[in-house]
Amino acid sequence: MSANHSLDYGDLAFIYIDSKRKYLVKLGKGKILGTDKGFIKHEDIVGKKYGDIIYTSRNVKAYILKPLLIDLLQGLKRVTQIIYPKDSSLMIYLSSITPGSLVLEAGVGSGFLTASLANFVGDSGRIIGFDIREDHLLKASENLEKLGFDKRVELVLGDIREESIVVDNIFDAVFYDLPDPWNALNTAYKALKPSAPILIYVPTVNQIEKTVLSMRKHGGFIDIHVYEVLLREYSVEKNATRPYTLMIGHTGYIVFGRKISA
């Protein structure tokens, strides 16, 4: 959808009043967005464009924005720990996936990483996402449908440690967020195109060590690196610009490697 498109029922809009009042809405007939600054009827947003201004019932100014990926993710429901944008952004950069890429992911969990991957592979790409829990796949499926990404993703119930569930040498990248990724290295090795990357997310240093030592022992991966992303936001005030006092101290670690031919 272009940014100049006139909004219609079914479209997503990000309503921004101020930094504490931001709402992702799917425009629906008869629906109302309620806020502590007054309400906005969806029918009053229909026909407007992204970037336009609208006023709440209490005459407070709000902006109608085109949702960015980060806004879309904030509207999703979670049933598992998730991978946050600060980590998924580096994982996606390192993977070099582009529109049209074919990606293998396990475990899908709530589908937060899946949604980011789907955003980058576009309509011509595909994510094959495995999880051993049907209830997690159901939640991920609902989340992906909400964003209109469901056609870019095939969700499969299965244990990624079973090599037989993947086809050989077809994937442009593998992404793992599993409790024991070291037990699924053979599957990744089988599935990846020669020279393609693997990105593994683990929340503890014990898992880093087990994963990297297993990758070395496996012998099918080179250029192995481990990264941690620390993100600080700044508060900007005249003569008082500085990082915010609080920051997220820990999420997880990223293990990177590339497949080599046997």
Ligand X SMILES: C[S@@+](CC[C@H](N)C(=O)[O-])C[C@H]1O[C@@H](n2cnc3c(N)ncnc32)[C@H](O)[C@@H]1O
Shortest Å distance, C-beta 160 to ligand X: 4
Strand order of the sheet with strand 173-176?
153-157, 126-131, 102-106, 173-176, 197-202, 253-259, 221-227
Q: At what angle do helices 85-95 and 112-121 cross, to 10 degrees?
A: 40
Which CB sits closer to ligand X, 130 or 221?
130
> What is the end-to-end Cα distance of the chain in Å, rounded?
45
Kindly identify the residues of this chain, within the stretch 80-119, that bind ligand X according to CB under 6 A: 80-83, 106-107, 109-113
- For residue 118, the Cα-to-chain-centroid distance in whole angstroms is 8
Q: Which residue is nearest to ligand X (CB)?
A: 107
Shortest spacing between CB 62 and ligand X, in angstroms: 30
CA distance 93 to 199: 10
197-256: contacts with ligand X (CB under 6 A): none
Is 112 labeled as ligand-binding? yes
Which of 31, 25, 28, 21 is closest to 12 using CA atoms? 25
Q: Which of 18, 9, 3, 94 is nearest to 49 (CA)?
A: 3
Q: How far is the CB of 147 from ligand X (least distance, A)?
A: 13
Judge whether 5 is annotated as a binding position. no
Residue from 179, 236, 238, 261 in contact with ligand X (CB under 6 A):
179
Q: Is 71 in the site for ligand X (CB under 6 A)?
A: no
Residues engaged in binding ligand X (CB under 6 A): 80-83, 106-107, 109-113, 130-133, 136, 159-161, 177-179
Which residues line the annotated binding site for S-adenosyl-L-methionine?
110-113, 131, 136, 159, 177
